[in-house]
Amino acid sequence: MELLAPGGDLDSIKAAILAGADAVYCGVEIFNARYRAYNLSLNELPGVIALAHNHHCKLFLTLNILFVESEITTLVRMLNRLLNMDIDGIIVQDPGLFYLLSRYFRGLSVHASTQCTIHNEGQLAFYHQLGVARVNLARELNLPEIAAMTAAAHTMETETEVFVHGSFCIGFSGICYMSSFLSGNSGNRGRCSQPCRDRYAVTPMGNEYPLNLKDNSAFFDTQALWASGVDALKIEGRIKKPHYVHAVVRSWRQQLDRLYSGQPLSVDNSDLYMVFNRDFTNSYLKGEPGKAMFIDNPVDNSVKHFSDRSGAATDAERDLFELELYDKKAAAVEKVASLIDSFESQRTPLRISALGAPGEPLRVTVSTPDTLFSAVSESALVQAATHGLGEKILLKSLKSLNNNTYFVEDLDTSGLPQGLYLPSTDLTGIKNRLHGLLNGSREPIPPVVIPTPEPMADAVTPSLGVVISSPGLLPLEASGDVALYYRLPESMDRSQGELTEMFLDHRSVTPWFPSILVGESYAAAVSLLKAVRPASIMTDNSGIAHAASELGIPWQAGPGMNITNSWSALCLKERFNCHGAILSGELSASQLASITGPRDFELGYFIYSPTVLFTSRQCLLMPVTGCSKEVVDAECLPNCAAHATMDNTRGDSFVIHKKPGFHHRIYSDTHTLNCDIVTELPGKFTRFFIDLDELSAITLTMDETAETIALFQQLLAVDPRAAAALKERLSPTTNQQYKKGV
């Protein structure tokens, strides 16, 4: 099993290598899911790759965010640079980026991020079709589910990877919008502000941090993970310090070495407790999410852990013990810093010579203790009008060769006459080729040019889509003037027969598949698809998208598939015969306006819905209002119905809602209503959607529901009175995401 370590900055990367990591994942200054990490510059990356490879360690680059349209040009420039680096893989979330990599940048190995929320076999097939070499499995899966997913992945020659240490998110990654809604800092953009760790008003159960989970630690599950067949063990922590990375990687390296050599595995995890932690849990792996996973304190638990076990009987004894412990932690930090300092001195010297004459190209030759190579300019040298090439200009152009792996020991310009000129673009080209040659790429790969997405067809007149999740609203089908969608539950294995019969009786109602379908629920969802063979479906789950595509059933992507740019829409249409997509509710008006759908592809958007912040496999009521159970068992998902509210200390209010068949969700107490988009982006959307699930419609009679639908139809007909009437009827509402975007 590969041991994959976090590298938030150069020192952390070195710490990981020193501690025995097989691979390190890191980001550059843009486009990665840890903006709070220090990250590297793109110019530093070749040197860091060489550093890792010189120590038999792989390096993976994180580009695991959603991209907006305005960033695609910069992204493509970055990918062209990466083609000439010996990077071992790229970690990705965005469907559009998967498409670009699989079509135009096939030389780059691609991994699917935890942000892809991969938890069923259909999703493995979906990402396999996009050329993915490895998938990170959702942290919520238990060991039998991991084993089943891994076995399925291996039939597709795809590797699996699981997180074994570090922070837990309370919600499923990739479909958590809480930070985005509250602060504009989207988790899907690497900017999560961790509102789940915030302090809240004291709950009836006496908790101030009711969404705060303990940290993940699978240290004592090493043997079981080995038996499951997973290919890589991943440590979370790109915003952690080098001493943290070193301690965790070293502990895992030693444990794995014991496993491989047949020695007894360690039952001592005290080194893991010496660095930052919120206490540890392996309850997801055991299939026991519940009370034991929560901790009512988000700060470092290490001192408390050891202090509680010290046997100190008095406050004075406890204080003395804690001072001694702080000294030990400080000494560990200094020790790792010293190791890194000695590691840094191990740089390879470069001797560089420049040779050229008027009318000839510039040749720059680099020699190391082990090799010799040259790079030649595309343009010829000419007489300079003012300042010519010299040692100072060449050193400035090649300064990125002075990095953490190499240093320029000597620059010889004696073979270059004074007063010659070369365009800066040629100097940049030489620099990039030298980086590639140092990184093991002998032939420079020319830049890939991607086409501009085709403009959309003629403007369309939007229709209304109504989403329900209660059979009591099925009579709306009789009106015939709206498209009716029925939101399916996430626990479908027990209700598949009943749901199949319902759709066979209501052929005009479109099934809407949820984001989360684990194990038997996914199998039941596919069986329903085959039995009903609906005229079309909507899905928030990429596994169901793949199944529908294979069955030839027309399908559209829901907002849970996070479509934020034109390339993502094109990906779904070309690779999976998708007929349309609801664009992400995180985007602003200008970000939405720039997206172009491919031909014969419908664009949709939610103009009214409950504001879903996240979905969790946890019981969110346990730390809030309480529950008689200790763990979430097999009966909770299909049967539990509960409702509670909570407030944070800044005055934001939230609703916890659990319906039978659905996972726990947290909502804002304010629904989203966006009337502005109808007139501000005319002709762009084929269909606007409203969600009338019970959280929205619980106070409305059938007549009132029909009246509300009629008002939305008037809004789409650009009746100037409709928006005001809707705002009054549905108040309070918000439209903040549309205004600020991501």
Write the DSSP string, 667-729. EESSEEE--HHHHHSTTS-SEEEEE--HHHHTT--HHHHHHHHHHHHHHHTT-TTHHHHHHHH
| Of 285-289, 428-432, 493-497, 651-655, minimum mean pLDDT range | 428-432
87 pLDDT more than 70: yes
At residue 123, the pLDDT reads 99
Question: Residue range 523-532: average pLDDT?
Answer: 98
Residue 665: strand, helix, or coil = strand
Q: Residue 479: pLDDT band by 50, 70, 90 thresholds?
A: confident
Q: Are 37 and 292 within 8 A, CB to CB?
A: no
Coil/strand/helix, residue 442: coil
Please determine, for residue 432, whether its predicted confidence score (pLDDT) is greater than 80: yes
- What pLDDT, on the 0 to 100 scale, is given for residue 696? 47
pLDDT at 441: 60
Dihedral angle computed from the Cα positions of residues 351, 357, 358 and 361, in that order, rounded to the nearest 10 degrees: -60
> Which one has a higher pLDDT value, 211 or 395?
211
Q: Which residue has the tokens 């659905």?
A: 662
- What fold, for 463-612+670-740? TIM Barrel (3.20.20)
Among the listed residues 651, 690, 692, the one whose alpha carbon sits nearest the alpha carbon of residue 668: 651
Model confidence at 121: pLDDT above 90: yes
What average pLDDT does the structure give for the chain? 93
CA-to-CA dists, residue 482 to 463, 477, 503, 688, 714, angstroms: 7, 8, 17, 11, 12
| Residue 410, strand partner residues | 351
What does DSSP assign to residue 481? Answer: S
DSSP letter at 400 equals: G
Q: Looking at residue 122, what is its pLDDT?
A: 99
Task: Report how far residue 600's alpha carbon sits from residue 3's, in angstroms, rounded to the nearest whole number.
Answer: 45
Ordered alpha helix ranges (H), 389-423: 391-397
Number of residues assigned to the chain: 742
Hey, is 415 helix, strand or coil? strand
Structure tokens at 735: 């439209």
Region label for 47, one of left (φ > 0), alpha (ψ between -120 and 50) or beta (otherwise): alpha
> Please, is 220 exposed, middle or buried when counting C-beta atoms within 10 Å of its C-beta (0-12, 13-18, 19+)?
middle
Question: How would you class 727 by CB atoms within 10 Å of its CB: exposed for 0-12, middle for 13-18, buried for 19 or more?
Answer: middle
| Lowest-confidence segment of 86-95, 353-362, 434-443 by average pLDDT | 434-443
Q: What is the 3-state secondary structure (H, E, C) of 596-635?
A: CCCCCCEEEEEEEECCEEEEECCCCCCCCCCCCCCECCCC
Residues paired with residue 467 on neighbouring β-strands, in sequence order: 485, 691
> Given this model, what pLDDT does residue 404 score?
67
Beta strands of 184-284 (E only): which ranges?
A: 215-217, 232-235, 280-281
Q: How far is CA 271 from CA 22, 24, 248, 267, 323, in A?
A: 20, 21, 8, 11, 18
Q: Show the tokens assigned to 125.
A: 């097939």
CA distances from residue 304 to 275, 296, 299, 400 in whole angstroms, order as listed: 12, 13, 10, 45
Environment class of residue 570 by beta-carbon count within 10 Å: exposed (0-12), middle (13-18) or buried (19+)?
A: buried
As a whole-number percent, the residues of the chain with pLDDT over 90 amount to 78
Contact 544, 122 (CB under 8 A): yes
| Calpha distance 162→4 (Å, rounded) | 10
Half-sphere exposure of 266 toward its Cβ, with a 13 Å CA cutoff?
16
Residue pLDDT, tens place only, 632-681: 999 999 999 999 999 999 999 999 999 999 999 999 999 999 999 999 99
Q: How many CB atoms lie within 10 A of CB 33?
A: 25
Asked if 606 contacts 559 with a C-beta cutoff of 8 angstroms, the reply is yes
Q: Can you tell me the distance from the alpha carbon of 159 to that of 164, in angstroms, rounded to the nearest whole number?
A: 16
Confidence of residue 36 (pLDDT cuts 50, 70, 90): low
pLDDT, tens digit, for every residue of 528-571? 999 999 999 999 999 999 999 999 999 999 999 999 999 999 99
Question: E strands within 448-577?
Answer: 463-468, 483-487, 510-513, 537-539, 555-557
- Residue 371 Cα to chain centre, angstroms: 40
pTM metric for this prediction: 0.92
List all residues 6 or more positions away from 550 whose beta carbon is below 8 Å from its beta carbon.
none
At 58-85, the pLDDT tens digits run: 999 999 999 999 999 999 999 999 998 8
Residues of the chain with CATH 3.20.20.70: 2-168+215-277, 463-612+670-740
Question: Mean per-residue pLDDT for 450-466?
Answer: 87
Looking at domain 2-168+215-277, its CATH architecture is Alpha-Beta Barrel (3.20)
Kindly tell me the sign of the dihedral angle through the C-alpha atoms of 484, 485, 486, 487. negative
Q: SS3 for 644?
A: strand
The pLDDT, as a whole number, for residue 697 is 42
As a whole number of angstroms, the distance between CA 76 and CA 448 comes to: 8
Q: What is the C-alpha to C-alpha distance for residues 522 and 524, in angstroms, rounded to an integer?
A: 5
Q: What residues pair up with 18 in beta bridges, in sequence order? A: none
Beta-ladder partners of 355: 363, 415
Closest CA to 61 of 110, 126, 124, 1: 110
Compute the distance between CA of residue 150 and CA of residue 220 in angstroms, rounded to an integer: 20
Write the CB contacts of 102 (distance below 8 Å, at least 6 apart in sequence).
110, 130, 131
Predicted confidence (pLDDT) at residue 440 exceeds the cutoff of 80 = no
pLDDT for residue 443 is more than 70: no
313, pLDDT greater than 80: no
pLDDT at 665: 97
| Weakest-pLDDT range from 27-36, 137-146, 271-280, 447-456 | 27-36
How is 103-171 classified by DSSP, letter by letter? HH-TTS-EEE-GGG-B-SHHHHHHHHHTT-SEEEBPTT--HHHHHHHHHHHHHTT-EEEEEEEE---SS
Q: Given a cut of 70, is residue 699 above it in pLDDT?
A: no
The CA distance from 482 to 75, in Å, is: 40
- Residue in this structure with the two tokens 């406050």, named with its chain if needed: 315
